[in-house]
Amino acid sequence: MKKSMKMMLRGIAGQKCPCCGKENIFERSRPFSFQIPKMKEKCEKCGYYFEREPGYFLGAMYVSYGLAVFQGILTFLLVHFLFSGTPTIGIYVIVMSVIFLFAFWNYKLARVIWIYIFPN
């Protein structure tokens, strides 16, 4: 079953099952919780197994790294051009803070992207 790009992007953004697009991949947690997000074993609607084999998500680390680098570069450019008088150490602290704040979000998003890239 071939999905359109719009459906895939909507599924990734909503962190939904790549097969049915209805069920969440991660269990709900409290907002702003600093716990590692817990993934469901399988989709409750269609039975799709999210973790295919041991080590399946090792490649998602590269996706997470790419997201963090993108966020770091974007933050650096915004701070550098919008607040041009910021000292170098200040820029460094801001960039590292942004990367740290988005770490749990990157963890979840990287796994969802990986599932959508390699669904079977």
- What is the per-residue pLDDT for 2? 61
Helices and strands (H and E) in the chain: how many: 4, 0
Q: How confident is the model at residue 36 (pLDDT cuts 50, 70, 90)?
A: confident
Find out whether 25 and 111 touch, Cβ atoms under 8 Å.
yes
Has residue 68 got a pLDDT over 80?
Answer: yes
Domain ranges of the chain: 5-117
- Whether residue 1 has pLDDT greater than 60: no
Length of the chain: 120
Quick one: what percent of the chain has pLDDT higher than 70? 93
